[in-house]
Amino acid sequence: MSTDVNAGGNAAAFERAQRVIPGGVNSPVRAFRAVGGTPRFISRAEGAYLWDVEGRRYIDYIGSWGPMILGHGHPAVLDAVTRAARQGLSFGAPTEAEAELAEAIIERMPTVEQVRLVSSGTEAAMSALRLARGATGRPKIIKFEGCYHGHADALLVKAGSGLATFGHPTSAGVPPEVVQHTLVLEYNHVAQLEEAFAQHGSQIACVMIEPIAGNMNFVRASVPFMRRLRELCTQHGALLVFDEVMTGFRVALGGAQAVYAGLIPGFKPDMSVFGKVIGGGMPLAAFGGTRAVMSQLAPLGPVYQAGTLSGNPVATACGLATLREIRKPGFFEALSARTRQLADGLAAAGREAGVPLATDSEGGMFGFFFAEALPQNYNAVLATDKERFNRFFHAMLARGVYLAPALYEAGFVSAAHGDAELDATLTAAREALKG
C-alpha cells in the first residue's frame, strides 16, 4: 500500500497546522507539550501500526486513545462502515441500528437497562451529570483528583485547599460559581470520602469515578475504597456513576464494573458512561442506567438532552461491528494475556536495567511508572520520575514504538498486536532503558 510522504516531514506539517489551528492540534495532548519535540503527523494505520508523513512506521500503543481495540483497518469494521455510508451518512431520524447497538451495550453491561447514544465521552459524562442531578433533585457532585470526565465546565475542577471543600476551575473560562457544587477528593482516600458524605450527604446527586483511572496513567480504585464508596452512595441516596469511557469494553467485556463485581459480591454502579471502544474509532459515546433513572430524560422526562448527530448511522455501524468482534470466544483472554505479557516484560526490562519501573494491566489497558511502586492517587503519580519518562518516550519513538506522549496516560494493546510487535517493543525498551 502506498503511503503519503510529505517532503517537509512532520516539522513542516506541524508548522502549517500551527498557522491555522491553535497549537497545531485539535486536542491538546497530541501536541507533545509534556514530552517536547515534534508531534508525528499520521498518514495511515493498519493493524498494530501507524505511519507518519515521513513514511516512518510505529507500533501503536495509543490506539486512538482506546477505541482501536481490534487494531486499525479491521476488515469486518471497514465493511460495516462502508456499507452504512452507502445507505446514507445521517438522517436525523431514528434507525433500527441504534436499538441494535443499545441492545449490544446492555447485553454486555447487566447494570444498564437503557442507554442514550451521543457523539463524545465529554457529552456523555456531561449528560449523565445533568441526569443524576435531575433525577435526585440535588446539586452537588463528587469527583476525584486525577480522574478526567471530559471537558464539561462542572468537571474541569481541581481540589480546593481544605479537606471536603469545593474545588477550583482548572481552566480559564470556567467561573468559580459554575464549579461551586463540585467537590474534588483524593482517589483511594476513604476517610475523605466519609467526611464529604458526613458534611454534604443529603445534597450529593452523584459520585463520578473512573474505576480504573486511565487519565493519571493507570491507577486502580482499591477494593476497600470502592466498597465504601458504594455503601456511602446507597446510604445517602447518591448515584454512583462509573465513567467507563476508557475502561468499558476494554478492561473486560463487561468493563470495570465486571472487574469490581468479581471482587465485591453484588457490586454495581447506578449509572455508566461509555465511549471510545463503543464507537470503534468513530465519534460515538453513550450513557446509561436503570430504566427509572433514564426515563427522566426528554422526551419522557424533564431532563433535556439532544444531539443532531447522536446515533449517527455510520458511527453506529462501526461500533456494532467492533462490539461483535470483541464478543467472540477467547477475545478478551488473548488480549489480556498479551497486555499482561507487555506489562510484565516492561517490568523485567526495568529490573535488568536497574531502573525502578512499576507496571500494571487489566484487559487491554496498561500503565507503567518510573517509580518503585504503583501510585495510588494523583499526587503519587506526579511524584514519579517525569524526566526519565520523557527520555524513555523519545527513545522508544526513535525505535518505532509510539507510546502516549505524557506520563498521565494509560496505554492500549489491540488484538492486532502479536508476538512480533511484543518482541520488538521489549527489545526497544531494553535498549531505551540503558539511556
Ligand X SMILES: *Cc1c(COP(=O)(O)O)cnc(C)c1O
CB of 162: closest distance to ligand X in angstroms?
A: 27
134 binding ligand X? (CB under 6 A): no
Which of 288, 299, 307, 255 has its CA nearest to residue 132?
288
> 67 or 169, CB closer to ligand X?
67
207 binding ligand X? (CB under 6 A): no
Quick one: which segment of 119-127, 171-179, 341-349, 355-363 binds ligand X (CB under 6 A)?
119-127
Do 208 and 185 touch, CB atoms closer than 8 A?
A: no
169 binding ligand X? (CB under 6 A): no
Give the H or E element holding residue 402.
Answer: strand 401-402
Strands 204-209 and 140-144: parallel
Quick one: which segment of 41-49, 98-106, 120-128, 332-340 binds ligand X (CB under 6 A)?
120-128
212 binding ligand X? (CB under 6 A): no
**Number of residues located near ligand X, criterion CB under 6 A:** 15
143 binding ligand X? (CB under 6 A): no
**378 carries an active-site annotation:** no
Q: Of 52, 60, 243, 270, which is the active-site residue?
A: 243
- CB burial of 243-260 (b: ≥16 within 10 Å; e: otherwise) equals bbbbbbbbbbbbbbbbbb
CB of 148: closest distance to ligand X in angstroms?
A: 5
CB of 202: closest distance to ligand X in angstroms?
A: 27
Do 10 and 40 touch, CB atoms closer than 8 A?
A: yes
Q: Using the rule CB under 6 A, which residue among 74, 116, 149, 220 binds ligand X?
A: 149
Q: Using the rule CB under 6 A, which residue among 167, 211, 269, 275 binds ligand X?
A: 275
274 binding ligand X? (CB under 6 A): no
Measured CA to CA, the distance from residue 138 to residue 10 in angstroms comes to 50
DSSP category for residue 218: S
**148 carries an active-site annotation:** yes
Do 152 and 125 touch, CB atoms closer than 8 A?
A: yes
316 binding ligand X? (CB under 6 A): no
Sign of CA dihedral 351, 356, 362, 365: negative
> 148 or 370, CB closer to ligand X?
148
366 binding ligand X? (CB under 6 A): no
CB of 120: closest distance to ligand X in angstroms?
A: 4
For the beta sheet containing 411-412, the strands, ordered from the edge strand earlier in sequence to the opposite edge, are 358-362, 365-369, 411-412
Which of 434, 410, 420 has its CA nearest to residue 355?
434
257 binding ligand X? (CB under 6 A): no
Q: Using the rule CB under 6 A, which residue among 120, 136, 310, 377 binds ligand X?
A: 120
Q: Using the rule CB under 6 A, which residue among 101, 245, 320, 346 binds ligand X?
A: 245
Which of 372, 346, 371, 376 has its CA nearest to residue 361?
346
CA atoms within 13 A on the CB side of 362: 25
AA identity, residue 378:
Y
Q: Using the rule CB under 6 A, which residue among 10, 122, 305, 414 binds ligand X?
A: 122
CA 198 to chain centre: 31
Q: Of 49, 58, 61, 148, which is the active-site residue?
A: 148
- Those residues whose C-beta lies under 8 Å from the C-beta of residue 247, and which sit 6 or more positions away, are 210, 211, 212, 214, 255, 256, 362, 363, 365
250 binding ligand X? (CB under 6 A): no
Quick one: which segment of 50-58, 83-91, 117-125, 382-390 binds ligand X (CB under 6 A)?
117-125
Measured CA to CA, the distance from residue 212 to residue 388 in angstroms comes to 24
121 binding ligand X? (CB under 6 A): yes
DSSP category for residue 183: E
Enumerate residues 283-312 that contact ligand X by CB under 6 A.
285
**58 carries an active-site annotation:** no
Measured CA to CA, the distance from residue 284 to residue 324 in angstroms comes to 16
Q: Using the rule CB under 6 A, which residue among 150, 319, 367, 405 binds ligand X?
A: 150
Report, as residue numbers or ranges, the catalytic residues: 148, 243, 276
For ligand X, the binding residues (CB under 6 A) are 120-122, 125, 148-150, 210, 214-215, 243, 245-246, 275, 285
